[in-house]
Chains A and B, each alone.
Chain A
Amino acid sequence: MSILDKFTPLAEARKGLAGLGADPFAVTFDSVSSPAEATIDGRPVLILGSNNYLGLTFDADVIADGLAALEKFGSGTTGSRIANGTFGGHHALERRIAEVFRRKHALTFSTGYQANLGMLMTLVGKDDTLLIDADSHASIYDGARMAAGQVIRFRHNDPDDLARRLRRLEGAPGETLVVIEGIYSMLGDRAPVAEIAAVKREHGVTLLVDEAHSFGVLGPNGLGAMEEAGVYDDADFIVGTFSKSLGSVGGYCVSDLDGFEILRLACRPYMFTASLPPSVIATTLKALDHVENRPELRQRLAANADRLYSGLAKAGFKLGAQVSPIVSVRLPDIPVAAAFWGALLAEGVYVNLALPPATPTLEPLLRTSVTAAHSFAQIDRAIAAIVAVGNRLGVIGADAVSSAQ
């Protein structure tokens, strides 16, 4: 008997996966030379699964600012925001984030995961109700678990189901917080934000939007799905991460709500963890400049997304419903998905393997994502490799997913 015995089924599942020739949890990048290229086990690979949407990780200005901050302020803050971990840079970054989002207040966190955890568990008190989309990211589910109030799921991207559930809550005490994502991370589909914003207005509830995958990607100024749909002002809180389009690490929440600043003394995942290192603050600030001043990066990203999506759709793969920088191939079962993933890696193309229950349905996914740094030649090479493997495994065309639900 061991305290770890409860994980035996999980350990077996992992062993089973390795037996199929795929061990995605063991992938290690030995070196990375650009947002699109790395080596794994000494062999060059094209990175087609990174969330590095604008390709800023190797930007010369970003690196220069990071190095300068590293030299000037040292390697870390060695403290939390409420003790010795607040430097001028933390205030500067919060002011800058608020300015970019045109909101009064901004709070930064050490990861996006903690931003969701912190905001949900702190906002939703005992008498309040939290409504989350059924396909929400783990950080939203975990924040919900730590919230004192009741948590209710609504059907993924279904404003009518949300409205029905809000109607059932009429007369309940406390406030109601609705949480959605701009782009969902597994299939790349967008929330119907205009319809959800209308439901939110009608019922007078509070809306928090996680734009983790859509900031820097969607909207005239890159502010995300709410801006793109023209309902930007309906987001009472916007949460996001520095770890995707901004190429660093950290999370944030912005809001216009009066009284927001008190969260600095109430939100435990903000308070009781070391603050971001100065070099991360500096690279994030520079990356924000690029989001603001280089809209061509978003255009390039959109063109790459379109090229990958249409190339795979034309070949007959079953994909997510909408074109986005996340393009996922839906596969019938885990053995096929594992074989597909391993074969692609052997061809020198790295993608993410996503397995249920982390996926919205029982279908496993080959999750790819493009960056503005990919060339069309690289995208075409990836399409060719995916099509070749797909043909070999017989998972292209009408009955490609026949055995899945």
Chain B
Amino acid sequence: MPVDMDIVDIIIAQLEKITPPGTRITPQSSIMGDLGLDSLTVMNFVMWLEDIFDISVPMDQIVEVESIADLAEALQKLGAKANS
């Protein structure tokens, strides 16, 4: 399944709000590594995405996510649609 770039854009737009201004964010950025977010911030961020897409992300799937593209793919598999 190709990654839905609209979902990627929504994720990046949200990440821009919680990272320092000017942080370079690409689909390949590692969420914990490159963006330096702590686990509490990531959890709140995932809960925000769950609201947007009206899905619940099981915990084991969050653990497997490295990059933004991974996250978009996981959300898509759980039924996320960019125009919902």
Contact = CB atoms under 8 A, between A and B. Distances in A.
Partners in one complex: yes
Interface of A: 134, 144-145, 150-153, 155, 164-165, 168-169, 356-357, 361-362
13 contacts: A134-B43, A134-B47, A144-B59, A145-B59, A152-B57, A152-B59, A164-B54, A165-B56, A168-B55, A356-B40, A357-B38, A357-B40, A362-B38
Interface of B: 38-40, 43, 47, 54-60
A86 B30 CA distance: 52
Contacts of A145: 59
Nearest to B54: A168
A117 to B, nearest CB: 16
- Report, nearest first, the 6 A-B pairs whose CB atoms are least far apart: A150-B58, A151-B59, A152-B56, A165-B56, A168-B56, A357-B39
A150 B58 CA distance: 6
Contact of A150 (B40, B54, B55, B60): B60
A361 B40 contact: yes
Contacts of A168: 54-56
Nearest to B46: A153
The A interface is mostly helix, strand or loop, or mixed, namely mixed
A241 to B, nearest CB: 24
B40 A362 contact: yes
Contacts of B58: 150-152
Nearest to A155: B47
A357 B39 CA distance: 8
Given A152-B58, A155-B47, 6 more contacts: A145-B59, A151-B60, A153-B43, A168-B56, A356-B40, A362-B38
Contacts of B47: 134, 153, 155
B38 A356 contact: yes
Contacts of B54: 164, 168
A145 B56 CA distance: 17
Nearest to B43: A134
Contacts of A165: 56
A143 to B, nearest CB: 12
Contacts of A151: 58-60
Contacts of A356: 38, 40
A153 B59 contact: yes
Nearest to B50: A165
Nearest to B79: A168
A329 to B, nearest CB: 19
Contacts of B57: 152
Nearest to A153: B59
A331 to B, nearest CB: 16
A361 B59 CA distance: 19
Nearest to A359: B40
Contacts of B55: 168
A253 to B, nearest CB: 23
A151 B56 CA distance: 10
A403 to B, nearest CB: 15
Nearest to B58: A150
Contacts of A153: 43, 47, 59
Contacts of A169: 56
Nearest to A131: B56
- Residue from B55, B56, B58, B59 having most chain A Cβ neighbours under 10 A: B56
A401 to B, nearest CB: 16
A165 B47 CA distance: 11
A362 B59 CA distance: 21
A405 B64 CA distance: 27
A152 B78 CA distance: 13
A362 B38 CA distance: 9
